[in-house]
Each structure stands twice: as structure tokens, then as C-alpha cells.
């Protein structure tokens, strides 16, 4: 008998790799995708679910028939529930309300209990899915799988996903590209690749709204905000992510994710979820910058399209969210820079006093100013913060770095203006940066009015 198993659990892993042929048109590199949606529970998370349970059993933390609790965007839950169904562990999952109904239904189908929590609250809020899942997981007799802080998560990808990829590709991989949620995938694969001294670039893809991108490039914890793509990006730093194994991060907006997800189905026949579209959209931006006929890139596609039928595969939902509009002609950030012309970058050093900063701002007629140290961003100072300080007795002597806030975002010149517009829904200031891995050089500072000016000049005939 061939490919016959005792139960479904030994079907986890060993997923196929397929070459992309259509969405890569115009690029010279060879781009491949690993089909993790073909795991039996429908996603890459089957791998970690199995490992988390085996490690918990071995450590004596999960007795036979013990309750498994997890805060999950759906896929880890499906993996845990699948193991639970086969081995008799009841499961309770906590899910944010932005997740699709199909994901909840899938968990209930395995016999799991699902608790839904609001998305738009801070992680520390007692109603957040982190708080609720931690509270339930700490209850007597429960085992909290805790994918955001469980070392079994990255260990899974170190032990199985990375060597599996390497063997399948016969060692011919120049870059592995994937989305970051817990960061377990990129960290585990990255650690394995670097330890073996494999010269493979690890590239992460992060949605607009998540804090990973700016944190990676500037070391600052900027303000996260909600976004639509599911399964990737975070508003806090999980311990399962280790940035030392990441060589580069690329940013995508919701629309780029959704549009690419649909193209993957229509043009490549790959029925996948939004984070797969995100991974491919981000990967193609990276390939564009590093393209060559010898370049071989492998992208991880985490889950299947079946969990997004009421969203990404529903035209009304896509239209309501503006994902079917065509804003591809807006150009790149470097076009906007050209339009703004060569400007002197007004900045202050961290040691400048409030009084000196106010002087610089008055002289140049600006209402916010970046605080730079060695060309690296320490934060921004706004007129609002300065006013508050100037009113305090002796406040004028306070050094800039004590008042700088992380109310900014960064963007690269070859990024699409549409992505910048999404960022400006939340942030007031963007730094245009040239990044080389974790080093970045600030080229310019852009505000909403600059984008309005750029767009109105375009509609007025490009003058």
C-alpha cells in the first residue's frame, strides 16, 4: 500500500512545491511556492499544533483527555482540534471577531468550543483575545498552547519545514519569503538555514497596520492599527519571533494582498487565503529589487481559500472594501519625491532642547520635526507635544529625545503611493528611508498635505 496512513496525523507536512508562472511575468527569477494549505487541517499550523501537543505530553503538562486552550486566528485551532479529535483532547479557542465565520465553523466542526472577542481593543484590555485566552488557559486543568510564546512553535519549523524545503529544492534556494504572525515560521526556518551556514536570505512580509516593519527598520515601537488581512502582522512582539534570523522585511497593504490572492487562484490555480496573497505580493516586491535569472525564491503559502469564501472570494465584500478599485496608476513614492523636488531635511538631534527645537521649527515653518541620531530615527516631535512642554516651568530645557514619540511610519522610494495613502489613514508623518536590512537612512519626511498636493497636481494634468 502506498501513501496509506494509520490516522490523519502522519499526513501533516511533506507538502508539495510548485513554480509560479503567470503572476511573475516580467521577472527573471524563478519563484516557487510551498503549498502548506495541503496539510490535512488546511494550513501550516497543523505542523506546530502536533509539535506543541507532543512537547506538552512529554513535559507532563497535558494529561490524557486534558483541555487544550488557545487564542487563535483559526488555523492553529484547526490543527489542535484535529489532533484533539484523533486523540481525545477537548478544545476551547478564543478568536478575534474580524476572523471569518468559516474559520469559526471549521473549529466547531471538529467539536471545539469557540469564544469570540473584539478586535479593536488593546492587547492589555481584559476583553482582548490575548487576555481572554490567557485567563482561560490559566484555569485549573487546562493546557494553554500559547503559540505566541511557545518555543515548540519555531522549533517545529526548524525541525520539519526548513530541512524539508531544502531537500525538496535540492539545496537551490536563495531566499525564503513568508508572512509573519507569531514569527514562528520565519524564525524556525531562518535559524535552521543560518545554523547550517546556508546562505539563504530570510524575508518577511508585513501588512500596513502591523508594527513589525517599522520595528525591524528603526527599532522603534510605532503605533499599530487594525487591518483586514488575517493571520499575519501583530500589535505586540511575541517571543516566538527572533529578528536576528530575518534579513529583510517588505510591507504590503490590504488591497495588494487581496488582489494577489485572487490572481493566484485565477492565474495559477492556487486556491489560497489572504496571507498567501500577501506573501506573494511582498515577495514580488523583493524580487523586483533583487531580480536575476539565477535567483531562486521559495514563498510559503500558509492556508486555503476555503476559509475566505464570504470575504476575499465575495465580489460585494471586495467592492465594499475598495479592493476592486484600480489605484495601480498612482505611481511610486519616488515619483512623489520627484514632484516635491529636492528639499533640505529639517531634523534635530536627541540632545537639542525644546527651545532650540521650537526655534528650528519656527525658522522652517514646519509643525513636526524628526529626531535623528547618526541618521537613525529616534522619533518625531510635534507642535502639540512641544506646546505642552513649553508651558511647564523649565520645560524649555528638556532634551528632544525625552519627548520624541513613535507616531511615524517608514516607507521606501520604490513603494506604491497607494500603500502610503493607506499609512496616512492613521499616521501623520512618513519618513522615506533607504533600508539595507536593519540599517536605514532617512531621505525625506512626507506629510498628508504632500500627498494631497501630488494627487491634485496629477488630476490637474500633472503640472
Give me the residues that bind ligand PLP (CB under 6 A), please: 73, 75, 179-185, 231-232, 273, 275, 302-303
Q: From residue 11, how far is each of 36, 161, 184 by CA, in Å?
A: 12, 14, 21
Q: Which residue number places its CB atom closest to ligand PLP?
A: 231
CA distance 112 to 392: 56
Closest by CA position to 203, among listed 219, 179, 220, 184: 179
Cα–Cα separations (whole angstroms), residue 352 to 79, 147, 396, 456, 462: 54, 43, 10, 37, 40
Shortest distance, CB of residue 11 to ligand PLP, whole angstroms? 19
Instruction: Let me know if 394 is exposed, middle or buried by CB neighbors in 10 A (0-12, 13-18, 19+).
Output: exposed
For 455, the grid coordinates are 494627487
Please state the closest distance from residue 430 (CB atom) to ligand PLP, in A: 26
For ligand PLP, give the closer residue by CB, 19 or 149: 149
Helices (H), 232-297: 254-268, 274-290
Task: Kindly state the DSSP code that residue 463 receives in the 8-state scheme.
Answer: -
Please report where in the chains the cell 471586495 appears, as a residue.
Answer: 318
End-to-end CA gap in the chain? 72
Contacts of 209 (CB under 8 A, 6+ apart): 224, 225, 226, 227, 233, 426
Q: What is the C-alpha separation between 432 and 94, in angstroms, rounded?
A: 38
164 sits in the region (left: phi over 0; alpha: psi -120 to 50; else beta) called alpha
Least distance in angstroms from the C-beta of 215 to ligand PLP: 15
Nearer to ligand PLP, 273 or 370 (CB): 273
The catalytic position among 34, 45, 103, 201 is: 45
CB atoms within 10 A of CB 436: 9
Give 326's Cβ-side CA count (13 Å radius): 1
Considering the complex, state which of residue 24 and residue 182 has its C-beta at the smaller distance from ligand PLP. 182
**Is 311 one of the catalytic residues?**
no
- Which strand (E) or helix (H) includes residue 115? strand 113-117
Instruction: CB nearer to ligand PLP: give 71 or 370.
Output: 71
Residue 338 Cβ, how far from ligand PLP at the closest point, in Å? Answer: 36
282 or 379, CB closer to ligand PLP?
A: 282
Please report how close the Cβ of residue 308 comes to ligand PLP at its closest, in angstroms: 10
C-beta of 119: minimal distance to ligand PLP in Å?
Answer: 14
CA distance 420 to 100: 27
Residue nearer to ligand PLP on the CB measure, 185 or 222: 185
**Nearer CB in complex with ligand PLP: 41/183:** 183
> Which phi and psi angles does 70 have, rounded to 5°?
-155, 145
Q: Of the two residues 189 and 377, which places its CB atom closer to ligand PLP in the complex?
A: 189
CB of 220: closest distance to ligand PLP in angstroms?
21
- Quote the least distance from Cβ 384 to ligand PLP, whole Å: 36
Cα dist from 321 to 227, 265, 279, 311, 315, whole Å? 11, 20, 20, 10, 10
Alpha-carbon distance of 369 to 392, in angstroms, equals 20
Q: Which is nearer to ligand PLP, 80 or 433 (CB)?
A: 80
Cβ–Cβ < 8 Å for 253, 282: no
DSSP state for residue 159 in the 8-state scheme: I
CA 328 to CA 331: how far, in whole Å? 7
For the bound state, the minimum distance from the C-beta of residue 113 to ligand PLP, rounded and expressed in Å, comes to 20
Give the residue numbers annotated as catalytic, written as ranges.
45
Amino acid at each position: 500500500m502506498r501513501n496509506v496512513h494509520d490516522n490523519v496525523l502522519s499526513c501533516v507536512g511533506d507538502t508539495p512545491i510548485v513554480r509560479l508562472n503567470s503572476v511573475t511575468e516580467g521577472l527573471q527569477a524563478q519563484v516557487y511556492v510551498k503549498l502548506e494549505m495541503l496539510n490535512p487541517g488546511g494550513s501550516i499550523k497543523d505542523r506546530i499544533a502536533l509539535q506543541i501537543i507532543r512537547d506538552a505530553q512529554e513535559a507532563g503538562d497535558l494529561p490524557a483527555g486534558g483541555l487544550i486552550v488557545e487564542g487563535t486566528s483559526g488555523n492553529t485551532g484547526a490543527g489542535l482540534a484535529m489532533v484533539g479529535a484523533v486523540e481525545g483532547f477537548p478544545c476551547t479557542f478564543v478568536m478575534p471577531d474580524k476572523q471569518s465565520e468559516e474559520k469559526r465553523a471549521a473549529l466547531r466542526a471538529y467539536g471545539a468550543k469557540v469564544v469570540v472577542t473584539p478586535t479593536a481593543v488593546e492587547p492589555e484590555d481584559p476583553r482582548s483575545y490575548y487576555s481572554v485566552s490567557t485567563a482561560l488557559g490559566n484555569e485549573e486543568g487546562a493546557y494553554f498552547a500559547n503559540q505566541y510564546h511557545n518555543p515548540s512553535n519555531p522549533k517545529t519549523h526548524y525541525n520539519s519545514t526548513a530541512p524539508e524545503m531544502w531537500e525538496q529544492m535540492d539545496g537551490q534556494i536563495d531566499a525564503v519569503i513568508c508572512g509573519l504572525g507569531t514569527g514562528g515560521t520565519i524564525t524556525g526556518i531562518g535559524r535552521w538555514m543560518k545554523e547550517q551556514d546556508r546562505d539563504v536570505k530570510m524575508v518577511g512580509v508585513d501588512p500596513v497596520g502591523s508594527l513589525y516593519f517599522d520595528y525591524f527598520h528603526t527599532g522603534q515601537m510605532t503605533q499599530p492599527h487594525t487591518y483586514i488581512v488575517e493571520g499575519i502582522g501583530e500589535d505586540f512582539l511575541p517571543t516566538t519571533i527572533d529578528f536576528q534570523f530575518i534579513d529583510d522585511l517588505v510591507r504590503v497593504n490590504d488591497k495588494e494582498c487581496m488582489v494577489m490572492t485572487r490572481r493566484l487562484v485565477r492565474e495559477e490555480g492556487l486556491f489560497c487565503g489572504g496571507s498567501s496573497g500577501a506573501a506573494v505580493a511582498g515577495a514580488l516586491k523583493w524580487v523586483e529589487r533583487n531580480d536575476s535569472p539565477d535567483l531562486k525564491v521559495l514563498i510559503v503559502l500558509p492556508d486555503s481559500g476555503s476559509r475566505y469564501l464570504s470575504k476575499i472570494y465575495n465580489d460585494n465584500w471586495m467592492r465594499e472594501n475598495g479592493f476592486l478599485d484600480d489605484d495601480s496608476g498612482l505611481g511610486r513614492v519616488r515619483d512623489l519625491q520627484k514632484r516635491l523636488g529636492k528639499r533640505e531635511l529639517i531634523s534635530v538631534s536627541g540632545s537639542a532642547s525644546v527651545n532650540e527645537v521650537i526655534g528650528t521649527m519656527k525658522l522652517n515653518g514646519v509643525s513636526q520635526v524628526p529626531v535623528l541620531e547618526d541618521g537613525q530615527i529616534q522619533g518625531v516631535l510635534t507642535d502639540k507635544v512641544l506646546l505642552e512642554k513649553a508651558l511647564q516651568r523649565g520645560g524649555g530645557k528638556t532634551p528632544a529625545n525625552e519627548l520624541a514619540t513613535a507616531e511615524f511610519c517608514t516607507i521606501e522610494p520604490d513603494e506604491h503611493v497607494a500603500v502610503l495613502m493607506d499609512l496616512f489613514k492613521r499616521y501623520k508623518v512618513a519618513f522615506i528611508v533607504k533600508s539595507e536590512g536593519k540599517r536605514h537612512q532617512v531621505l525625506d519626511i512626507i506629510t498628508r498635505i504632500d500627498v494631497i498636493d501630488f494627487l491634485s497636481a496629477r488630476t490637474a494634468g500633472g503640472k
